[in-house]
Amino acid sequence: MRINSLARSLLQAQRRTFSSSPRRLDRYGFIGLGQMGYQMAKNLQAKLPPSDSIRIFDLNADAVQRLAEEMKASTAGGAVVEIAKSVNEAASDSDTVITCLPEPSHVKGVFSQILTPDLPKKDRIYIDCSTIDPSSSRQVAEQVASAGQGQFVDAPMSGGVVGARAGTLTFMLGAPDSLVSKLEPILLRMGKAVHHCGPQGTGLSAKLANNYLLALNNIATAEAMNLGIRWGLDPKTLANIINVSTGRCWPSEVNNPVKGVIETAPASRDYSGGFGISLMKKDLKLAIIAADEAGAKLELGGRAREVYEEAEKAENCKGKDFSVIYRFIGGKE
């Protein structure tokens, strides 16, 4: 009995020692504080424990300072906030570096500044949330691996600025299986879902394939709505029929391009907000480039790209949500 009692006491002591052992501190770097990155970094910082730290950087020094002040003033607490003076400094001591940048050239430029000889050797994870072409992403991944500085994965997202602010983004992850369990908790601090698409580069492939289809569906919906309205159909009646029939799609059901059909859609507020037409033009261009590299034939992509390029230049469409294509084709408003 005495031996059993002694054994229990030793086990309890071991459990107390284990439970009170300090948690490893994690350091994060976040580079790129545009409309998406700003909100993503804010959510990440707020949901990290106070023992962690996050170092932020953007070329826009005012945005960096404003975000740092908002983070520090938050009653939610969160990770310790630091301001980096360069991308290299943002990555230097970090275990995880997150980038959210506009174009492939920006991603390549940032990593050429990060991967310098003076960067301390460390098994970092680089999570790139930018929407770029898979080929460029793989080039950067190879550079990171060759430099012995960790692993680079792609995690583009959908959900827009509204989703970034609310923390409801969906991430499409391209990464080795072995990293998924480590990456998911990080991404879920900025979103609500993570879909592992396969090895590095496949997250971007999935994102661009989806957005290619979205770009075409948007034009087709605008044309179909305009056609039906000019034939005398009521816009809501037509939309209701499409949405219970085989023409149903996201642009017809959620982002309908005709004012008043969906009160929450950008069309009902003069196409303001939403997914900008310039962003759709960019994603369509990237999808076409990637398709060409893969030898995939696109019958409609070239003409769709011309439509978005022309619409983006039109004064009454510039800076609007991509559903403004309805206005561009002369849809009745």
- What is the enclosing helix (H) or strand (E) of 141? helix 134-146
Residues 182 and 199 sit within 8 Å (Cβ to Cβ): no
CA–CA dist 218, 299 (Å, integer) = 16
Please enumerate in sequence order all residues whose Cβ is within 8 A of that of 295, keeping only pairs 6 or more positions apart, or say none.
none
CA–CA dist 17, 11 (Å, integer) = 10
Secondary structure class of 168 (helix, strand, coil): coil
DSSP 276: B
CA–CA dist 258, 252 (Å, integer) = 9
Q: Give residue 34's region: left, alpha or beta (phi > 0; psi -120 to 50).
A: beta
- Known catalytic membership, residue 236: no
Half-sphere exposure of 293 (CA within 13 A, CB side): 11
Among residues 85, 121, 122, 207, which one is catalytic? 207
The total number of residues written for the chain in this structure: 333
Q: Which residues are catalytic?
A: 207
